[in-house]
Amino acid sequence: MNQNDRIPPYPGDACEVAFEVEEFMLNPRGTLHGGVLATALDICMGHLINRQSGPGATLELKIQYIAALRAGRVVCRGESLRRGGTWFLRAEARDAEGGLVAFATSTWKLLRKPAPAAVMVEGA
């Protein structure tokens, strides 16, 4: 992904991430590497949870690969299924024509904000 790839503004219940397939993203068979799709789907869901509730961490991620892709634009769309201390999300990756390329489900844990650092007072 490069500077031309963006996360466009999105409504509260969904997030879209889009990118153009580039040669360095291809596997030895000449199709989009599954790890690139997994990363894009994870980023999509991560931006969604971060915007809605703050930072989170992926606890579990399952990807189903449906079709191979050699070139073109990929659009990933994520949405939350259940919210709370633990979140359940899903995302789809589609090609430029809207065909399903892959989908993911994931479990996320909200992260607590770190406690303020203690200040050492000399001589105390």
The secondary structure of the chain, three-state, reads CCCCCECCCCCCCEEEEEEECCHHHECCCCCECHHHHHHHHHHHHHHHHHHHHCCEEEEEEEEEECCCCCCCEEEEEEEEEECCCEEEEEEEEECCCCCEEEEEEEEEEECCCCCCCCCCCCCC
> Which fold would CATH assign to domain 14-110?
Thiol Ester Dehydrase; Chain A (3.10.129)
- What is the mean predicted confidence (pLDDT) over 1-10? 51
pLDDT surpassing 60 at residue 4: no
Average pLDDT over the chain, rounded to an integer: 87
Over residues 15-33, the pLDDT tens digits come to 888 999 999 999 999 999 9
> Residues of the chain with pLDDT > 70: what percent?
82
Tokens 């889009």, located at residue: 18
pLDDT of residue 76: 95
> Which residues, 6+ apart, have CB-to-CB distance to 101 below 8 Å?
32, 37, 65, 66, 67, 69, 74, 93, 94, 95
Contact assessment for residue 78 and residue 41, using Cβ atoms and an 8 Å cutoff: yes
Over residues 62-97, the pLDDT tens digits come to 999 999 999 999 999 999 888 888 899 999 999 999
Listed by start position, the domains of the chain span: 14-110
